Structure 1
Amino acid sequence: MTTTPPDGYTTPKIVTNLVAYAEYCGWQALVQWVPADGTNGGAHVTVQVGRKVTEEDGNRRGPWWLYKLTWHSRGCEPGKVRKFGTGLAQTPDKPQWHDAPAVWKIRQVIYENPAPGAVTIFKGPITKREFNKIPCARALRFSRDWMGRRQSEWIEDMPGWGWSLVSDYGKPEHPCHVSRADSRAMAADHLTAFLAPTRAYGGDNLTVDEWEIGPWPMPST
């Protein structure tokens, strides 16, 4: 086995993206290529991403998150591979080996369970245009000029409300609850929606002050 693709092959982008996202969230990743040798049915690449459960994760049934997926050249054009089967998974809530979910769902699990101490929040300020050039970026805080003041809006886990959109309406000493969300991810999605390229909001003076890289969105059906 080797981490280098055989001649004529490249590691699929979906694999490199998954590995990069796992490492960004403090998970470990391993990519292993097996070249075609006449006995294994063709070249294939296996990717594993995972991390151990820590004290910060609380009491769990299993010791780690671990996902093992394979892309195989069997039945493909020369130099091409495709995902082989569902892959395998072990999780703290289901520690026995079982079918792995889709890659986008694995990214959601990684997003919801970053390794303790992983730095996953970026701080600006950057413009709305710059923000929208970042793949899968989610806004956590932005500010804009409003009524002669500098107004900030952000997400926060507020006592009695849970995850919420919050605004100071230009008065930092008086933050106000705007609306609640069912999860941190939903709150970030709501805030990010204000910054869509097709939405005129905030004017030229809006800056994104904190953001993160979210998982892929759920595929449309």
Structure 2
Amino acid sequence: MSETLLEEWERLLGERADIRSSVRTSEPSPEARERHREIQRRLTEIAAIPPDGYALPSLAAGLLEFAKAHGWVTAVQWTPPGYGGEPFVNVEVGRKLGEAEAANHRSDTFHFQLTWHSRDCEPGKLKKFGRILAKTPDNPQWHDAPSVKRVREIIHASPAPGAVTVHKGPITKAEFNAIPNARALRFSHDWMGRRYTEWIEDMPRWGWSLMSDYGKPEHPCHVSRADSRAMAADHLTAFLAPTRAYGGDNLTVDEWEIAP
């Protein structure tokens, strides 16, 4: 008969306790170290499995997906198998800064902790519980984060080095609008025998701006300025709204990102 999840959980906890107990009296062997790592990995996997009838809330699942896409480390820990109380889940996202990144900060860590609890909820339902706890490079002691949206904005502004956060096309306007929270950074279209390109750029004189080459790539033109990169991208994205007729033929979105 195959082992249940609860039986596996309890067996692994016992095996881990035995390994840790033996370490107190002697140096662990390489085999014991490797077995301890395997047990930890499996316990982490089991802890991420929701109890029957439960699933991660969409807000939590979206945050984890967004964090992973930006190169952050994530963790999910449900109440363990056999837990007799009201199920809850802890969600964590974070990353370490590299040495150069951390040079002008008080610490090298982003770390956010959130909890969803089933207390006073219908079976299978969860609600966000308590505060969002945060550690940031400029405020390394545990403190309150204002909202999940703000956590996403911090993740967006501080992706891990090497994370691919700007996606490249070309894709059609319809394909772009089918991507949740997509925000345009560059698109192009044909008009009067020329290929027009429009994009956002941080201009030395104007700051974040909407740009166009008006069909002449060698002569980029400033169109209008914005107060931030996000605002510039939002302005560009507005041209691509499904109900708005803008641009010429063969319009393609060439670069985009997922907004917080």
TM-score (ref. length: structure 2): 0.78
After TM superposition, list the pairs within 5 Å mapping 1:34-183 onto structure 2. 34-35=79-80, 37-38=83-84, 41-54=85-98, 55-56=100-101, 58-183=103-228
Deviation at 1:100, TM superposition (A): 2.1
2:61 paired with 1:13: no
The answer to whether the Cα contact below 8 Å between 2:190 and 2:249 also exists between their aligned partners in 1 is no
- Give CA deviations for 1:65-116 in whole Å, capped at 9, x if unaligned: 1110000111111121110012211111211111122111111111111112
> Counterparts of 2:181 and 2:56 in 1: how far apart (Å)?
21
208 and 98 in structure 1: CA distance in 2 versus 1, 3 angstrom threshold? same
Query: Among residues 198, 202, 209, which one is paired with 2:243 in the alignment?
Result: 198
SS at match of 2:198: strand
Q: Given residue 161 of structure 1, which amino acid in structure 2 is its aligned partner?
A: W
SS at match of 1:178: strand
111 and 79 in structure 1: CA distance in 2 versus 1, 3 angstrom threshold? same
SS at match of 1:115: coil
Match of 2:7 in 1: none
Task: State the number of aligned residues.
Answer: 213
SS at match of 1:206: strand
Deviation at 1:204, TM superposition (A): 4.4
> Counterparts of 1:208 and 1:58 in 2: how far apart (Å)?
37
58 and 157 in structure 1: CA distance in 2 versus 1, 3 angstrom threshold? farther
> Counterparts of 1:140 and 1:58 in 2: how far apart (Å)?
30
135 and 169 in structure 1: CA distance in 2 versus 1, 3 angstrom threshold? same
TM-score (ref. length: structure 1): 0.91
SS at match of 1:208: strand
> Counterparts of 1:28 and 1:9 in 2: how far apart (Å)?
23
Deviation at 1:50, TM superposition (A): 0.8
> Counterparts of 2:256 and 2:185 in 1: how far apart (Å)?
5
Quick check: which one's helix share is greater? 2
Q: Given residue 32 of structure 1, which amino acid in structure 2 is its aligned partner?
A: Q
SS at match of 1:109: helix
> Counterparts of 2:211 and 2:249 in 1: how far apart (Å)?
22
Q: Given residue 94 of structure 1, which amino acid in structure 2 is its aligned partner?
A: N
> Counterparts of 2:176 and 2:139 in 1: how far apart (Å)?
37
Deviation at 1:57, TM superposition (A): 5.6
The answer to whether the Cα contact below 8 Å between 1:56 and 1:116 also exists between their aligned partners in 2 is no
* Percent identical residues: 68
- Structure 2 residues not aligned, in runs of 5+: 1-45
2:254 paired with 1:209: yes
